[in-house]
Structures are given as structure tokens and as C-alpha cells.
């Protein structure tokens, strides 16, 4: 699984050009409405909206597949048994295994929601540089300290991963190899000390970073002025507003339709 979310943030597409704040509000509204969808008949529409937004973003398909792989395995592991365990309407049975309609529908709903929400999340973070994303959150009211913590976490996650890779390489070069089939207590101790060392190193580095920040005036003023994001062109403003309105309407549409259907069904 790759972590660098904003490696395609510098492409040119309508979604990339969409103002970071409008995009954040718009896509989060759609994501929230998708999370509330409970009727299976809206899943194709949900997937359709997701595919259209992803296509508009011009992000490569490989960006999505590499990042969905591990969460996908996890979700399949979680919902994989649902079609066989949940519900009473048997669609097909083979020995003790019975495929049940309610379980299939619940699994399809979960998988549909999972795919749509994760894909839109990737569009949100993949089409805006992380720094612009955090600034957008900050201008929408995220406290400065949380914004700084987000930025630093994102920045140093890669440093820690690099550290971990180097340490694992050093272990391998001195003959250590981890095989789950030949797993023993000594391996566990070695992995635990690897993680412990990584933890201590990251703690020490965080102290040095904080010292470096303080020495350059961090916290000297109650409110730090942040260089504004580049000025937008007038023509873009229409698109920012239109895009936001469309996203909010889509989100409201899903919420109302799902609510109405639930009302009719009950």
C-alpha cells in the first residue's frame, strides 16, 4: 500500500482546479450522504457518481487500485461471511453452505459504500497538495495546533518509514528473516525491539524538531500569519461555486431519496 497521497496533486483537471475548501465541503458532504445510504437500489447511483468524479479527476486507475488493495482485503475479510450467515431466504445451498439473499444484499451495500467512500476520499486527498488541504481545513475552523500536528505527522511518517526500511534491511543483512510459518518467541522479541527502537527514535526526533521549531519562533506569537494560497482566477470562482452546489445537491438528493424510501418501506 502506498502512502504518498498527493503525488498526483499537480495534475490539471476540473477536480484539481476546484477550490480546496469548496472541494473539502462538497466531497465530505457526498461521502457523508453515502455513509447514510441504506437502500441497495441506490448503490448503482452511488457508484455512478463515484466513477464520474474519479474520471473527472483524471487520476490514474493504478492510483486507486494500489491504495484500495489492502483495505479491500480487510473489508472482504469482514463481509465475506455475511452472505452465508445473515438472513433466512436461501438462494443456493451446497451441503452445509447456504447463500442467503439478505446477507448478499447487506454485503453488496457495505462493499458499495466502502468503494465509493474510499474512492472519494482518495480523490479529495489526491487532487490537492496536503499543505493546501490542511490550510483549507484551518480556514474552515480547524485549530492551528491540530493543523500543525497534521502537517508534521504527514511529513515525518515518511521519515519513520524510511528509518524502518533501513533497520529491517540491516536486520536482513545480518541474517534475520521473518517467516510466519517458522515464527518463534525469539523472532517476536526481535520485532518488538525493532518497534521499540523505532518508537524511541521517533520520540527523540520529535523533540529535536520541536526544539528547531521553537528556535525559529514557533509559539512566539499567539497567531502565526500563514502565506495565503495562490490567488484564484475570476473564471474559476464560478466553477468553485457551481461544483460546491452540485456536490451539496447530490448529497441532499441521496439523503432525501434514501429517507423517503425508508419511509415508504416502513
Number of residues this chain uses to bind another protein (CB under 8 A): 28
Among 61, 145, 173, 221, binds another protein (CB under 8 A): 221
d(CA 20, CA 128): 7
Among 13, 86, 101, 205, binds another protein (CB under 8 A): 205
- The cell 524538531 sits on which residue? 209
Instruction: Return the range that interacts with another protein (CB under 8 A); candidates 14-22, 64-72, 80-88, 222-230.
Output: 222-230
Q: Does 228 bind another protein (CB under 8 A)?
A: yes
Q: Does 158 bind another protein (CB under 8 A)?
A: yes
| Chain residues 77-116 in contact with another protein, contact rule CB under 8 A | none
Q: Does 125 bind another protein (CB under 8 A)?
A: no
Question: Could you tell me which residues are beta bridge partners of residue 209?
Answer: none
Q: Does 226 bind another protein (CB under 8 A)?
A: yes
Among 11, 209, 255, 257, binds another protein (CB under 8 A): 209
Among 130, 176, 178, 261, binds another protein (CB under 8 A): 130
Q: Does 193 bind another protein (CB under 8 A)?
A: no
* Proportion of the chain in helix, strand, coil states, percent, rounded to 5: 75, 5, 25
Q: 27 with 19: CB under 8 angstroms?
A: no
DSSP letters for 80-131: TTHHHHS-S-EEEEETTEEEEHHHHHHHHHHHHHHHHHHHHHHHHHHSS-HH
Instruction: Return the range that interacts with another protein (CB under 8 A); candidates 13-21, 225-233, 235-243, 248-256.
Output: 225-233
User: Residue 169 burial by CB count (10 A; 0-12/13-18/19+): exposed, middle or buried?
Assistant: exposed
Among 69, 172, 224, 232, binds another protein (CB under 8 A): 224
Q: Does 172 bind another protein (CB under 8 A)?
A: no
Among 97, 225, 263, 266, binds another protein (CB under 8 A): 225
Q: Please, which residue, 93 or 166, has the CB nearer to another protein?
A: 166
d(CA 61, CA 172): 34
- DSSP single-letter state for residue 227: P
C-alpha cell of residue 97: 453452505
Instruction: Return the range that interacts with another protein (CB under 8 A); candidates 93-101, 119-127, 171-179, 201-209.
Output: 201-209
For 219, half-sphere exposure in the C-beta direction (CA atoms, 13 angstrom radius) is 8
Q: Please, which residue, 182 or 223, has the CB nearer to another protein?
A: 223
Helix, strand, or coil (residue 230) = coil
- Residue 137 C-beta: closest distance to another protein, Å: 14
d(CA 209, CA 224): 18
Helix, strand, or coil (residue 25) = helix
Interface residues toward another protein, by CB under 8 A: 129-131, 151-152, 155-156, 158-159, 205, 208-209, 211-221, 224-228
Amino acid at each position: 500500500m502506498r502512502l504518498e497521497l498527493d503525488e498526483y496533486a499537480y495534475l490539471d483537471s476540473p477536480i484539481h482546479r476546484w477550490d480546496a475548501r469548496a472541494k473539502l465541503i462538497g466531497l465530505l458532504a457526498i461521502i457523508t450522504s453515502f455513509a447514510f445510504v441504506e437502500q441497495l437500489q441506490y448503490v448503482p447511483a452511488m457508484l455512478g457518481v463515484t466513477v464520474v468524479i474519479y474520471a473527472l479527476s483524471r487520476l490514474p486507475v493504478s492510483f486507486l487500485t494500489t491504495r484500495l488493495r489492502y483495505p479491500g482485503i480487510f473489508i472482504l475479510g469482514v463481509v465475506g461471511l455475511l452472505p452465508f450467515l445473515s438472513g433466512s431466504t436461501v438462494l443456493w445451498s451446497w451441503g452445509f453452505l447456504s447463500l442467503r439473499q439478505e446477507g448478499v444484499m447487506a454485503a453488496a451495500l457495505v462493499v458499495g459504500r466502502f468503494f465509493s467512500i474510499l474512492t472519494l476520499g482518495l480523490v479529495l486527498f489526491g487532487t490537492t497538495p496536503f499543505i493546501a488541504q490542511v490550510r483549507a481545513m484551518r480556514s474552515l475552523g480547524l485549530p492551528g495546533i491540530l493543523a500543525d500536528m497534521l502537517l508534521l505527522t504527514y511529513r515525518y511518517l515518511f521519515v519513520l518509514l524510511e528509518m524502518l526500511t533501513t533497520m529491517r534491511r540491516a536486520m536482513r543483512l545480518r541474517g534475520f528473516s521473518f517467516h510466519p510459518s517458522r515464527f518463534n518467541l525469539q523472532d517476536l522479541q526481535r520485532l518488538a525491539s525493532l518497534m521499540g527502537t523505532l518508537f524511541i527514535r521517533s520520540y527523540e526526533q520529535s523533540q529535536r524538531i520541536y526544539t528547531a521549531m521553537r528556535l525559529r519562533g514557533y509559539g512566539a506569537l499567539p497567531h502565526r500569519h500563514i502565506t495565503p494560497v495562490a490567488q484564484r482566477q475570476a473564471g474559476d470562482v464560478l466553477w468553485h461555486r457551481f461544483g460546491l452546489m452540485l456536490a451539496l445537491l447530490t448529497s441532499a438528493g441521496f439523503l432525501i431519496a434514501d429517507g423517503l424510501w425508508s419511509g415508504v418501506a416502513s
